[in-house]
Structure 1
Amino acid sequence: MEGLPLISIIIPVYNVNEYLEKCLCSVCGQTYKNLEIIVVDDGSTDGSGEICDMFAETDSRIKVIHQVNKGQSCARNEGLTIARGEYIGFVDSDDWIDPDMYEFLYHLLVDNDADISVCAHYIETTTRTKVRYSSGTLTSFSSDEAIRALVVDKRVRNYIWDKLFKRQAFSGIRFPENQIFEDMAVCYRVFHKVRRIVMQDCPKYHYLRREGSTVLDKQYDPQKEYLWFLRIYEQVKFVQANGIWHKAPRYVHKYGIHSIDKILMLPSSPQLDSIIKDIIAKMQEFKDVRWPQVDFLFLLKRCLLYQNLNVYRSMKLFFKSGKKIPQA
C-alpha cells in the first residue's frame, strides 16, 4: 500500500480511560497504514491523557494535543486545524473500528469517484451487539440526493464517524462549539460542498452505547428535545433555501408536533411553555404544508395546537390517562 495518500483520523478524548485503549488499538491496527492519528485530550482527569501519551511513545503516527476542557466540538475543530491528510476521518474515543475500516472507505471513495464514503455500523452495549444495515448495498448520491437522504429519508445518518471525507469538504466548516447534536449541524453543510457521496451497507464501525455518554441519557430532557428540533429546523431551512426538495418543510411540522407531544407529558412550567411556543412559531414559518403532504389527523392536531395550546394539552393528558370518552 505504498504511495497511498495520508488519512488524518481525529479522536477527541475526555475521561474514557476504561475504553480508550481498545479504541486506540483499533485505529493503530488499521490495514491502511498511511495514517496521521490526531488525539485531542480535552482536559481529562481520569488518566486518559496519560494513556494517549503512552500510545504516542510507541506509534510515531500519533499526535497528542492536551487542552483545557472545551467540549467535543472544540476538540474536533482543533484536530481539523492541524490535520495534514488528504482525507479526514473521525473516531469517538469510547468506540472502536474494524481493522480494515479505512482501507474499505478509501477504496469505496476512490473506486466510485466520490468525495465522501460512508459505511454501516454496529451498536454495542454491555450485553449485545446490534448490526445497523448489513446488506452490502452500494448507493451513490449527488450532493442534493445525499442531503435529502440525510434530512428527509434518513437513509444516510447524521453521524460524522462512519464516513471518510476529502479534506476540502471541511473548507470553511467547523463544528458548533458548546452545543450538542453537533454532527447534525455539520453533515448537511459538508454534503452541500461536494459533488458525490457513496455509501455501502457494510458495518465497520462499533458505536458503544454507554451510560454517561454525551448522547445517551435515560432521563428525558426537554431542553435536549428542543435542541434536537432546532437541528431539524436548521436542516429543513437549508434544504428549502437551496431548492433541494420542496416538500421538506413538512418535516418541521412532523418533528415539531412530535417534540411538543413529548414535552406536554411533563408538568407545565413557564420554561416549557416558552419552548413549545417557539416550536409552534417555527412551524408557522412553513404555512404551505397541507393535505395530502400530511394526513388528516396530523392537520387536525396542528390546527388545534395553533388555536389553543391549553385545550391541546388537556386532550393529550386525557388520552394519556387512558380514559374513554363516554358514549351518548
Structure 2
Amino acid sequence: MKRLGFLSFGHWSPAVGSPVPTAAEGLLQSIDLAVAAEEAGVDGAYFRVHHFARQQSSPFPLLAAIAARTSRIEIGTGVIDMRYENPLYMAEEAAATDLISGGRLQLGISRGSPEPALNGAAAFGYRPGEGETDADMARRHTTVFRRAITGAGMVPADPNHMQGGHTGMLPVEPVSPGLPERIWWGAGSRATAVWTAEQGMNLMSSTLLIEDTGVPFDQLQAEQIHLFHEAWQKAGHAHAPRVSVSRSVMPVVDDEDRRYFGLRGQTDQHDQVGMLDGTRSRFGKSYIGEPDKIAAALAADRAVQAADTVLLTVPNYLGVDYNAKLLGNMVQHVAPAAGWR
C-alpha cells in the first residue's frame, strides 16, 4: 500500500477574480482542503514554507489548526528552511503541534530552496559562522533541533531559581514521544540522500534534483532512493525509514480540467534540464491527462514505485473546491488503477 498526500505551495494573490485573494483565505482554505482530503481518503496534508513571499511562512499554527479539525490524516511540511529557525523554539512548537495531532506530524526540513530575499536568514538574525556555508548553518540548526525534540538536556538549571532545587541540564518542554522518527530531510542529490540516511532521517525528494547524469528523472531519483536505503541499512538504525517523492499530477475528467490543463497536457510531458544556482539540474515531468493514462505512466515511474509516499503538488491558487475535486479523482480513479490501493 502506498500513502497518497498533497503538497500545497500556499500561494495567494489579491488579483481580481483570484479564488485565494488574501493570506487569511490561503490559511483557512488550507484547513478546509485538509479536511476534505481526509474525507476523500487522502493520507497526508503537506505545505511548503517560504519567507518574504505570498505563501505559507509559519507552518505550526496552520498544522495545529488542521490537527484540531481532523483525526487521521498525516500533517507535515515540505520543507522548512532550517537557516531561518531558532532550533529550541521550533522544538517547542513542533512538539506541541504533534501532541495536538496525536502523533501525526511528519516534519520535512532542509537547507531550503532559492528565495526572493537577499540574505533572508540574516534578516531573521541567523548568519553562518566563520568558515560555514548557509547549508552548514542549516545542518547545525538541525542538529540542535533534533537533539531538543528527544528530551535531552539543553541548558543548565539555575540553582538560584525561586522554585529551587534544580540541578543538571533542563530539556525544552513539551516533548512528544515518537516525533524524532518522523523528521524528513529534503534531499536534492544522491550525496545528500546518503547523508540523510546516515543521520537517521526520512528522505523527502521533490520534482527537482540539483544534478543531472543524462538519464530520465525517475531513474535518477530511483537511484537516489536506492543509495538512501543502502546507507540506512549500513548505518544500522533501529527504526524503518520512509521515502516520499513529489509529482505534479492533473487528471483530466471534465471540461473544467480541460480548460485549466488541456493545453499544458499536450506540451508538459518531458523532463526539463536547466541551471539552478549555477548547477545543472533536472526537473521531473508533469502527469496530465485521462486517469487511466496517468495511472499507467505513474506505474512505470521507477521512483514512484520505490517510494512509500507520493505527494501531489496541488494548484492551490485555483481554490479549495477545485483541489478537493482533484484529490477525489486521484483517490477514486488514478490510485487504484496505478495499483496503489
Q: Which category of TM-score, normalised to the shorter sequence, fits these structures?
A: under 0.3
Choose between structure 1 and 2 for higher RCO, CA contacts under 8 A separated by at least 6 residues.
2
**TM-score, normalisation: structure 1:** 0.24
TM-score w.r.t. length of structure 2? 0.23
